Structure 1
Amino acid sequence: MEALPNIHQCSTSPSSGSEPSAPTSKRSRIVVSQSKRGCVTCKYGSSPCHAPFRLTRCRTRRVKCDEQRPLCRRCVQAGRLCGGYNHESRSTSALQPTLKIGVRADSDTERLSYLAAHVLSLDNNGLPMQQGGVWGRVFLQLSNQVECVKAAAAAFGAAYESSLNDALVHSPYSAWRYYGTALARLQADFNNETAGPESLALASIILACVEILSQHEQNAFAHFLGAVQILTKTYQRHQGAGSADIYSTIKDELVNIDVLIGSYAMSQTPAFMHLESQEAAAGDDAFHEPELAINTAMLCLHRSYQFTESAAQLRHTYPSWTEHDPIMCKGRSDAVSRCLSVLDGLTALATRLQAQYSSATSTVRHSEALAEIYAIRSQLTSTLIFLMCIHSPFETMYDEHHDRFRGIVSDAAASARLRRQTKSSAFKRFSMRPGIVNPLFIVSNKCRDPPLRALATEMLGEQGREGPTDGHIMAAIGARMAALETAGIVPSSPGAPLAACDVPEGQRIHGYGVSPPRLNGEGRRVVDVQFTRPLVPLVQGWGHVDYSGQTNWIFWSECIDI
């Protein structure tokens, strides 16, 4: 990539035909004017112009600011997070001219990296949506300065542009050409150590997002693990103190991605938690602001998934390990208590935000924050259900949580309604936070009450993409699972509607796996789904059959139209 341009120096050479001036014993004073245009991190700055430099006053550091947009280059070179130019009323970012897809820029790489910035980090005004997160100034800063990050951003922009018309399925070659270039650039920078660990890790994260867009979750997982290794092992010895804030921000984002992977995998095999998050108690002040509350909820999810991973190996060892492992019982009790506490805090915050949303002074920010609170609450509720059922291998355990399943659907509906009411953006945001698709699919997957299950499946079909999940694909899988489980089932009482208790344990499906979407021979979009069920039903073979391995499980695949 091209580095941000250097400060323009004023010409000091004599013009043609002029005589050199005689030396003088006095030093001339340059009169400078002061302004408020420097970045908020530097103390003094110089404006790039062809007139004598103007020193511009900033706020915190007594160094010159070069006023490069969107981020000060001096901050970048010193490894500091640039505070940007918050005092400006409107964005002067160089990213603004490419707000529309197809607008010509200096090069396709520039255009696609600008597109990536608007999808990942910028609002409609060209300003960072998450000031302190990795998709705020960290992404803007490194994608403007580091080759491998900019190449990865261009690859994401190409994949996103292709995904708008399903070109990733019909004609993926253009998008993957940028992906290949970014992968080669990342490999070269890694081998030559020409980029810092934070830049290499961020480039890996962006490439994981490219794979998520194309629904190649295993490849995305490999990039995620690469970023984890770069930050925690291979390059940690090279970490300088100057970029510690960027390093910490990127590691926090890796924890968030870990949570997203865990959320996606809850209805399959529990995901492995590859990072230890910071231990932090959820105090009362954690639920005063939406962003703090969401961070607290993400931490709770991360710790819950860590417990789910450790407990999963016992699921088919005992009918109920609550009678055999008191340490695990204590861990489960603590995890459940944390989820309930955070849910209570989110409920109080949602009530307060709902009052603000209903007032005359309501803003788009209020509705967006409330929508995210409802979404994260639905994810926490589904996690709570898993925690309360993890000690038993029987699928009928989920029948005891009908009210919580209904709460998931209610929260998801509220979140979707609020998002529909907000002004739509030219770009659909790509978020690495859990949304409502995974919780709705858990209802469609694990709740056997026919009306509630059908409602969740219908809502899934109305959703788009959320990270690695596609609402349309999940709806098709959920509908097929419901059909398989209820085939030939009759109500226990003549004339009564079908109920969850009418679906026997032996007919319930325990898990599934899904391949990336493809086109069949007729040009239709399909996915291959592998379903899982005990070869001998648990109610018949428990105590005589070893269900801890794969030998006593049946796997079969079906091709499902999307």
Structure 2
Amino acid sequence: MMEALPNTPQASITNPEPDTAGSESRLSALPLKRSRVVVSQSKRGCVTCKTRRVKCDEQKPLCRRCVQAGRLCSGYNHESKLPVALKPALKIGVAADSGTERLTYLAAHVLSLDNNGRPVQEDGVWGRIFLQLSNQVPCVKAAAAAFGAAYESLVDNAIERSPCSVWRYYGSALTKLQSDINNRTAGPESLALASMILACTEILSQHETNAFAHFLGAVQILTESQHGGQWAPRSSTHILSTVKDELVKFDVLIGSYAISQTPAFMYLESNWQGDAPADDVFDDPELAINAAMLCLHRSYRFVEAAAKLRYTYPSWKEHDPIMFKGQLDAVTQCRSVLDELGAVATRLQAQYSSAMSTLRDAKTLAEVYALRTQLTAAIIYMLCVHSPFQTAYDEHQLLFQSIVTDAAASARLRRRAQTSAFKRFSTRPGIVSSLFIVSMKCRDPPLRALATTLLNEQSREGPTDGHIMAAIGARLAAIETTGNVPSREAPLAACNVPEDRRVHGYGVSPPKLNGEGHRVVEVEFSRPKVPLVKGWGNVDYTDLGNWTFWSETIDI
């Protein structure tokens, strides 16, 4: 049973009735002339009410007049202090009248608010839309409380030891969401957002499979809405479109980790149409970031489609000209966006070095560098996807070097910009997954070791944990280089790691505590039973029976 919102006094949102006593005598004494009705406005009202020239009740963080009318409250851009309603969330574990209220506010602070209580992505899903729907729609509020509980447990390092509280809120949110889906008592934008928040809750616990299931649920909801499904509330076209675009970006976050993409039969296309973004898109850093993420989305979808042919031919370049052209087009588009991001980074770097630099400039520049690592990693995957041989990656050492350089720049900027005691949770891609690609696929020892060291200095980014990835990368390197002792004249290089010693894939379980209270993960590695260089043409490598799988427990 969800806890009810506390009753709070509200300012009237209707114009008061005029005093009519003695009105006839007063009117007869006045000359007749056209009068202008003036609406009294609040000087500190929300942006939406001030724009509409109506009185605002000044409720924080969202004006109730906008909420009750179904409008998107644009917040208080002049407000500098943290809203009073958010203060219970500022200290983990502070008692409040309602656990659900406190955890919902905690989720709002982590997902959408900066240190001053203002939305960090004002016009995006995790800005005012999240704040409004989590305040207005019960299933979104319940999902936000579940996220808040998971985040609080993560900060207290109690998510493995004491998960009962987390899953009580999670179960309640899941029940409420399922009921609203069955009864159509909430709009598709609210149901999709609640599903995304529950996916974020699973990501906090590193259950990526469950997170992806919630992601697919959100896609299915929007698919039905797009195809004319009937919903009880009337959905806002703007909010629905914004939620859909956020799902595309969310696909990038999950895809960058597992390269597992939305099934082709499901509707998930961005509002960005055409082969390439317009040139002026890259004049604005935020638009440039969005364009890069959408380019990544399309790149990962190509990789997922092309990977199905990996063990059909030694190289499908000569056998599938259509796929080969698709590869060239995808790589060309990625390189173009990568170059444009380089120009954006140069402009931002000059701005960041000036006396007028702001904290926001540093964060934006860090994100541009992070996206460059993601795009470079996508290019490597697309260039190698036609070949099943791991030695194909040895041709792209300069690209691996570029990932490490951009990742180091992004990490340095993020350290300087870190001012909040709260660990931010972002649905945008960072540098961890890109560095892990270097750690896993680049067999040049110095570069691989540097990427692993950088990984170990990072914390959580969405579904990826830098410490876990660093431990797996170090173990991968040890497995592949065992028995390959370099001579004094010829140090070990990538080409010295033979194909039959290279690990092709891995799978990792959620972390758990061992008997000594240390965090560990079970990692399953794989390689062909008969090396490709010996068995190609005689062994069916699409059959899992022709692969060797083994598990190892790795300390974090």
TM-score normalised by the chain length of structure 2? 0.91
- Equivalent pair of 1:260/1:432 in contact (CA under 8 Å): yes
Structure-1 residue corresponding to 2:288: 293
The structure-2 alpha-carbon separation of the partners of 1:501 and 1:66, relative to structure 1 and needing over 3 Å to count, comes to: same
2:548 to 536, 548, 554: 554
- What secondary structure is seen at the aligned counterpart in 1 of 2:489? coil
Equivalent residue number for residue 33 of structure 2: none
Instruction: Identify if the C-alpha distance between structure 1 residues 145 and 386 changes in structure 2 by more than 3 Å, giving closer, same or farther.
Output: same
Distance in 2 between the 1:4 and 1:137 partners? 22
Residue 438 (str. 1) matches residue 450 (str. 2): no
**For residue 230 of structure 2, what is the amino acid of its counterpart?**
H
The alpha-carbon deviation at position 80 of structure 1 amounts to 2.9
Alignment correspondent of 1:54: none
Residue type at the aligned position of 2:246? E
Query: Are residues 1:145 and 2:136 paired?
Result: yes
Q: The residue matched to 2:419 in structure 1 has which SS? A: coil
Deviation at 1:31, TM superposition (A): 9.3
Runs of 4+ in 1 over 6 A off after TM superposition: 27-32
Is the aligned partner of 1:253 residue 2:221? no
Corresponding position of 1:38: 45
Tell me the residue number matched to 1:307.
302
- 3-state SS in 1 of match to 2:506: strand
* Deviation (angstroms), 1:326: 1.0
Query: CA 1:458–1:410 in structure 2 vs 1: closer, same or farther (change >3 Å)?
Result: same
Instruction: Verify: 1:481 aligned to 2:476, yes or no.
Output: yes
The CA deviation string for residues 511-539 of structure 1, in whole angstroms up to 9 with x for no partner, is 10111111223322111111110111000
The alignment status of 1:220 with 2:211, answered yes or no, reads yes
Tell me if 1:538 matches 2:532: yes
Q: Partners in 2 of 1:32 and 1:317 — Cα distance?
A: 72
- Check conservation: 2:295, 2:334, Cα contact below 8 A: yes
* 1:457–1:9 distance in 2 versus 1, CA, 3 Å: closer
Contact 1:4 1:73 in 2 (8 A): no
Aligned position for 1:206: 197
Which of 517, 526, 545 is equivalent to 2:520? 526
Structure 2 vs 1, CA of residues 525 and 28 (structure 1 numbering), >3 Å: closer, same or farther? farther
Q: Using the TM superposition, name which of 248-257 and 234-243 deviates more.
A: 234-243
Q: 1:33 to 1:440 in 2, by over 3 A?
A: same
Q: What is the DSSP-based 3-state SS (H/G/I as helix, E as strand, rest coil) of the residue aligned with 1:256?
A: helix
| Counterpart-to-counterpart distance in 2, 1:24 and 1:98 | 53
The answer on whether the counterparts of 2:453 and 2:470 sit within 8 Å (CA) in structure 1 is yes
Find out whether 1:364 has 2:359 as its counterpart.
Answer: yes
8 Å contact from structure 1 (residues 336, 387) kept in 2: yes
Q: Return the letter of the residue paired with 1:245.
A: H
Matching residue of 2:457:
462
Question: In structure 2, what is the Cα distance between the partners aligned to 1:320 and 1:233?
Answer: 39
What is the CA-CA distance between 1:38 and the residue it aligns to?
2.9
Deviates more, 1:476-485 or 1:520-529: 520-529
> Contact 2:508 / 2:522 at 8 angstroms: preserved in 1?
yes
Q: Which residue of 2 aligns with 1:2?
A: 5
User: Is 1:90–1:125's contact at 8 Å kept on the other side of the alignment?
Assistant: yes
Structure 2 unaligned residues grouped into runs of 5+: 14-18, 28-36
Match of 2:401 in 1: 406
1:186, 1:89 → 2: CA distance? Answer: 35
- Counterpart position of 2:34: none
Say if 1:4 and 1:68, in contact at 8 Å, map to a contact too: no
- How far 1:106 moved relative to its partner? 2.5
Structure 1 pair 356–189 and aligned structure 2 pair: CA distance change class (3 A): same
**Cα distance in 2 between the residues matched to 1:67 and 1:238:** 34
Cα distance per residue 1:172-218 (max 9 Å; x no partner): 11211111111122122222222222111111111111100000111
* CA 1:64–1:504: 2 relative to 1, 3 Å: same
- Distance of 1:22 and 1:299 partners within structure 2: 61
- Displacement, 1:97? 4.9
How many residues are aligned here? 536
**Maintained 8 Å contact 1:4/1:144:** no
Identity of matched residues, %: 69
Deviation, 1:264, is 0.4
Q: In structure 1, the residue corresponding to 2:317 is in which secondary structure?
A: helix
1:508 and 2:508 matched: no
1:557 to partner: Cα distance: 1.1
1:239-294, Cα deviation, whole Å (9 max, x unpaired):
5665111111111111111111110014xx67757522232432221211221111
1:133 to 102, 117, 124: 124
Equivalent in the alignment of 1:47:
none
Report the CA distance between 1:351 and its aligned residue. Answer: 0.8
Q: Distance in 1 between matches of 2:307 and 2:39?
A: 68
Helix, strand or coil for the counterpart of 2:550? strand
SS in 1 for 2:549: strand
- The one-letter amino acid of 2:5's match is E
Q: CA deviation at 1:76?
A: 2.8
Q: TM-score, normalised by structure 1?
A: 0.90
Q: Deviations over 1:436-459 (max 9, x none)?
A: 000000000000001110111111
Structure 1 position 340, deviation (Å): 0.5
Runs of 5+ in structure 1 lacking a partner?
A: 11-20, 43-57
Structure 1 counterpart of 2:554, one-letter code: I
Q: Distance in 1 between matches of 2:339 and 2:180?
A: 47
Which residue matches 1:327?
Answer: 322
- SS of equivalent to 1:559: strand
1:8 CA drift (Å): 4.0
* Contact 1:530–1:556 (8 Å) recurs in 2: yes
Provide the C-alpha distance between the structure 2 equivalents of 1:194 and 1:290, rounded to a whole number of angstroms: 38
- Of residues 508-517 and 76-85 in structure 1, the stretch that sits farther from structure 2 once superposed is 76-85
Q: Distance in 2 between matches of 1:32 and 1:344?
A: 52
Which residue does the alignment assign to 2:229? 237
Q: Which moves more between the two structures, 538-547 or 179-188? A: 179-188
Instruction: Answer yes or no: is the 8 Å Cα contact 2:529–2:548 preserved in 1.
Output: yes
SS in 2 for 1:313: helix
